[in-house]
Structure 1
Amino acid sequence: MGSSTRLAKLISTIAFSAYFFIIIFQIPIFSVPCRRGICKTPLELTCSQLIASEVFPLFIVKALIYPGSVAKAIFKLKTIPSYRNLLHNFNTRTISAVSELQRLEVLAGSYLAVGGAILGLLKPGRMGLFGILLLMWGLIRELIMIESGFSHAKGIRIYPTIVFALVSAFFSIRRDVRELIRTFNLKHVRKAKHF
């Protein structure tokens, strides 16, 4: 019993760390048109909406964006951007309200994914998982509508890293991981008794 709890804690900690890394350091998991131009991460989409709606002060948005900007600069061997000029590429292009409403699942999923990563620092929960699932649903629905001719949006893509984000979000929920381990252990005990 104690070993399954420790194993579940270890698995969920590693999974949440991977999920947090994907979201906060802005690993591309999709591509959609947004106010910034093309957003490739839930954090970019969320921050472009926060800047346009002026709900949060800009220093909060900059604090969210900065770790990913530093990581991108290091990865691309460029100079680290200054905190002051961080939002210069976040122009607020006008996007019609209709196109924003068509991608409401993607926007809501982005908010939930980012919220799940931030609130997960206190206690990982299901918010990040629901966010990624909602993102996937919205993106797949949009791609189906494009294929069937009901939508003419361009630039929408789903990257394979979204599956890694989904798996890490699922395994970050300690209670579910503990139940999986118990189920797996019960099956092995029953097989051993059967032989």
Structure 2
Amino acid sequence: MALSSSSSKGWLSNLPSKASRIYFFLIVLQIPLFRVPCRSGMCTTPLQVTSSQLIASEIFPVTLVKGLLYPGAIVNGLVKNLTVPRWDDILNIYNLTSVKEAPAVADLQRLEVLAGSYFSVAGALLGVLKPGRMSMFGTLLVIWGLVKEGILGKPANTDPTRAVYVYPTMLIALICAFSSVKYDVKKVVRSAPARPIAKPLQSSSKSKLK
């Protein structure tokens, strides 16, 4: 019994790091989580949404953005046609060559998805070193943005080819994002203020004795 309990505790203590690694691979390898209009056309991963915005705003060097996209491009190329894409073709593959001239209406209408994608990518990269809450916060923001458009119809979309869609893999990303957060139960219990024990008044106790 002691061995099984210690092994279960060890597995639970390693759960945040394992969940962070799975979440990292989901983001970096660009496993499709959703489908939403963006500057480059239709984006299916938080990394694609983030990359289109970074290229358009010129916040990060193009080489760094291509470095983030290249692992997923290799996996997609091997899965689809068993070829490794060239480094110089990354921007063409993701339709990022003309995102600077593309209107920013799609991104402005979906600020939750855009902001959530930023947090998801940053949380995936930082979570490998130290698991935190950024991945969970980003995933919840993305989901809220998709739910707001899919259920509430904001913004309204009349083109079925550009309709928002959520893949089942989003559930895996959500579970990994929540599991990557460390919950220290002992710390919470210690930090909880102790409740004072109610004591009877001296006057009332004296009156009972009389």
Shorter-chain TM-score above 0.5: yes
Q: Counterpart of 2:90 in 1: which secondary structure?
A: coil
* Deviation of 1:36 (Å): 1.2
1:48 equivalent to 2:48? Answer: no
Q: TM-score, normalised by structure 2?
A: 0.76
Equivalent residue for 1:22? 26
CA contact (8 A) 1:11 1:172 kept: yes
The aligned residue for residue 155 of structure 1 is 163
Contact 1:15/1:168 (CA < 8 Å) preserved in 2? yes
- Matching residue of 1:171: 179
Structure 1 equivalent of residue 146 of structure 2: 139
Given the superposition, is the C-alpha separation of residues 170 and 30 from structure 1 closer, same or farther in structure 2, using an over 3 Å criterion?
A: same
| Structure of higher CA gyration radius | 2
Distance 2:13 2:127 in 1: 14
Stretches of structure 2 lacking an aligned partner (at least 5 in a row): 186-210
AA aligned opposite 1:138:
G
Alignment equivalent of 1:81, drawn from 81, 85, 97: 85
Q: Deviations over 1:90-127 (max 9, x none)?
A: 23345544432220000000000000001112201000
Q: How many residue pairs end up in the alignment?
A: 178
Does the residue aligned with 1:28 lie in a helix, a strand or coil? coil
* Structure 2 counterpart of 1:38, one-letter code: M
Q: CA RMSD in A?
A: 2.5
**Does 2:122 correspond to 1:115?**
yes
Please name the residue that 2:76 is paired with: 72
Which residue of 115, 132, 136 maps to 1:129? 136
For 1:91, the equivalent position in structure 2 comes to 97
Distance in 2 (CA, whole Å) between partners of 1:104 and 1:130 is 14
CA drift of 1:4 comes to 5.8
SS of equivalent residue, structure 2 residue 122: helix
**Deviations 1:126-174 (Å, cap 9, x if unpaired)?**
000100000000000011233x8x612632111111111000111112x
Unaligned runs of 5+ in 1: 180-195
- Identity value in percent: 47
Instruction: Please tell me the residue identity of whatever aligns with 1:166.
Output: L
Letter in 1 for 2:125: I
Does the Cα contact within 8 Å between 2:117 and 2:139 map onto a contact in 1? yes
Mapped partners of 2:11, 2:59: distance in 1: 41
- Normalised by the size of structure 1, how large is the TM-score? 0.82
**CA positional deviation for 1:86:** 1.2
Looking at structure 1, the residues matched to 143 and 90 of structure 2 have their Cα atoms a distance apart, in angstroms, of 29
The amino acid across from 1:132 in the alignment is T
> Secondary structure of 2:26's partner?
helix
